[in-house]
Structure 1
Amino acid sequence: MFHLNALTRRRARPIYQASVVGKPPQEDKFMGEAVQEFFTGVLRVIHPEVRDLWAYFEAGFHNLLAVAVENRFAREARKTALGLMGTGQLSLTKVIVLVDEDVNPRDRAGVFGAIARHFDPAEDFLLIPGVPLDTLDFTSFTMNLGSKMVIDAQSKPGETAVAAPPSAAPPDPRATEETVLAHRFAWGAMLVVQVKGEGRRVVERLVRRPEYAAVKLLVAVSADVPLEDDELLLWGIFTRFDCARDVIPAGIETRGAWASCRGPLGIDATWKTGYPAAIENHPDVIARVDSWWGKE
């Protein structure tokens, strides 16, 4: 909470230097993207296997990072992911998606297309609970503490090449779930269902239905998330779930101490009691700022 009691000024229109984060796009978009451009080259000194990486402003930067990695040995990208989770500001990253070196991590369709082609939750999903998290991340309900996950969407040696992600949409979930308001099959990898009210039970039922067995990610979002807006879709998903609590696989098998998840991988990204309201610009403020453009 920030309280302002007085503002001493010498000019008619004083300026308080501050940055506001919230529902995208916000002003931090341009600052965050500039910082990425500055430091990617420096990061490659530490991790020369990294070809490029991109944190998505749509997800508040720290919630979604895509990394293109050239593997010099088996599974090197996973070593890279763990290293990045201990490097400077990148240590606050919640979700890392690993892609092949020829995939553009700045292209959301390319990144999710790689998930559609290569991701197998049983072998390619890494969950890390109980670790430091960004102060701005409220999803775990515990300040500065939460969970992270890695999605390995790289091709495997000997894997049959798939030219493109599947384009055929899965069956309409409204046929079996009355609380589903709308749905979208995004980038061939992710079935997103917009639900009325609580989403966890919906996800638990859908991930176990055989008609969705080929879907890689099945996500429930709240009614305030517009499914056809790519930016707000990523915002509505990645800012509203805790990896350890809200990821719901279709099944879990234990191999010794290794818990292996069977897909689809469900995610309850609905708004939950205790989450803060989304920060949005007031229409009057937007109109005033728009009126400044073109003025000296």
Structure 2
Amino acid sequence: ARKTALGLLGAGQLMFLKSIVACDPEHPVKDLDTLLDVLDSKVDISGDVQVLQGQVADSLAHASPHLNVHDKVMIDASSPTHDDPMFGLTIPDGPGESLVDSVSQIEGVTQVRMLRPSMMVVTTHIEGGPRPEESVETVNEEGAAAQREHIVNLRDTIWSLKGTENLRWLFITDDDADLQADGWRRKLLWQFFCRFDVARDLHFDENRSRLAWDATAPIPSNTGPHTVRRWPGVTLHDPEIEAKVEAWMKQNNL
């Protein structure tokens, strides 16, 4: 599985990907629920999540800290073969809904939702952070430092709670995503991958058994641990065209 994933990362325009997940041959690749299931039940963070540093990036990948260069993350969600040292490894169950109330009470948390028993998404407000419709051209070192501190504090506070030992996936994103709205998962996916840079925004705990995925829109900075370049606003489409696209997607069960 990993050999195939590595090969794809060097194949044509697939080389511009920043993340790839390898699954079993029978896995339905267009089924998001099935993907979440295997990430929850088959992925050991310490052994199945690998970061490839200094790889090629698309020139239009604004989240990358450097033009044409970024890190990539490869996730092996396949079943280990008999000769794999991870064969027979039991992935413990996550805490599930038991953490929602306690995490909801943490300062800075806007909404909480469990995607799977080991997988939590949290929304938060970043003071001075780019709004979706805004383009940010100017560097704001103070705001960027405050953003980094806010994410670290939020991450560490959640990880310090009792019962979070098997909360293996923690996703943090901006609170312009309403986790109770229709179509919330589509918006979440866009935020997770368009705003995210592997080197800057993927964090592991000290045992490398849990990861936090920061998908908040980055504030431009030149002096942080990783450069944040200018941040573009999203392209806004005509509402009539959007309605036609939505109708077509529903008609085709997309």
In the superposition, the TM-score normalised over structure 1's length comes to: 0.62
Q: For the pair shown, which has the larger CA radius of gyration, 1 or 2?
A: 1
Give, as a single letter, the amino acid of the residue that structure 2 aligns with 1:168: G
Counterpart mapping for 1:250-269 below 5 A: 250-252=205-207, 262-269=208-215
Match of 1:212 in 2: 164
CA offset at residue 128 of structure 1? 0.9
Per the alignment, in what secondary structure is the counterpart of residue 233 of structure 2?
A: coil
Write out per-residue CA displacement over residues 194-243 of structure 1, whole angstroms, 9 at most, x where no aligned residue.
Answer: 01113522123323444222122101100112324111111111111111
Give, as a single letter, the amino acid of the residue that structure 2 aligns with 1:152: D
Q: Which residue among 224, 228, 236 is the counterpart of 2:176?
A: 224
CA offset at residue 161 of structure 1? 7.9
Counterpart mapping for 1:159-170 below 5 A: 159=88, 168-170=96-98
CA offset at residue 288 of structure 1? 7.1
Unmatched 5+ residue regions in structure 2? 127-146, 221-230, 248-254
Unmatched 5+ residue regions in structure 1? 1-76, 253-261
Q: Which residue among 264, 267, 272 is the counterpart of 2:218?
A: 272
Match of 2:252 in 1: none
Aligned-CA RMSD value: 2.5
Write out per-residue CA displacement over residues 79-130 of structure 1, whole angstroms, 9 at most, x where no aligned residue.
Answer: 1111111000111111111111222121111011101001111111110121
Match of 1:9 in 2: none
| Counterpart contact for 1:203–1:268, Cα < 8 Å | no
1:132 is aligned to 2:61: no
In the superposition, the TM-score normalised over structure 2's length comes to: 0.71
1:182 is aligned to 2:182: no
Answer 1 or 2: higher relative contact order, Cα 8 Å, separation at least 6: 2
- Alpha-carbon distance in structure 2 between the residues aligned to 1:171 and 1:104: 30
Pair 1:114–1:208, CA change in 2 (3 A): same
Q: Which residue among 180, 184, 197 is the counterpart of 1:242?
A: 197
Match of 2:6 in 1: 82
| Higher-strand-fraction structure | 1
- Alpha-carbon distance in structure 1 between the residues aligned to 2:241 and 2:6: 45
Pair 1:289–1:239, CA change in 2 (3 A): closer
Match of 1:116 in 2: 40
- Paired positions, count: 201
Q: Percent identity?
A: 27
CA offset at residue 278 of structure 1? 2.3
1:107 is aligned to 2:27: no
- Alpha-carbon distance in structure 2 between the residues aligned to 1:140 and 1:86: 18
CA offset at residue 131 of structure 1? 1.2
| Counterpart contact for 1:94–1:147, Cα < 8 Å | yes
Per the alignment, in what secondary structure is the counterpart of residue 107 of structure 2?
A: coil
Pair 1:167–1:249, CA change in 2 (3 A): closer
- Alpha-carbon distance in structure 2 between the residues aligned to 1:268 and 1:181: 15
Pair 1:188–1:279, CA change in 2 (3 A): farther
- Alpha-carbon distance in structure 2 between the residues aligned to 1:270 and 1:135: 21
| Counterpart contact for 1:130–1:145, Cα < 8 Å | yes
- Alpha-carbon distance in structure 1 between the residues aligned to 2:50 and 2:9: 13
Pair 1:105–1:161, CA change in 2 (3 A): farther
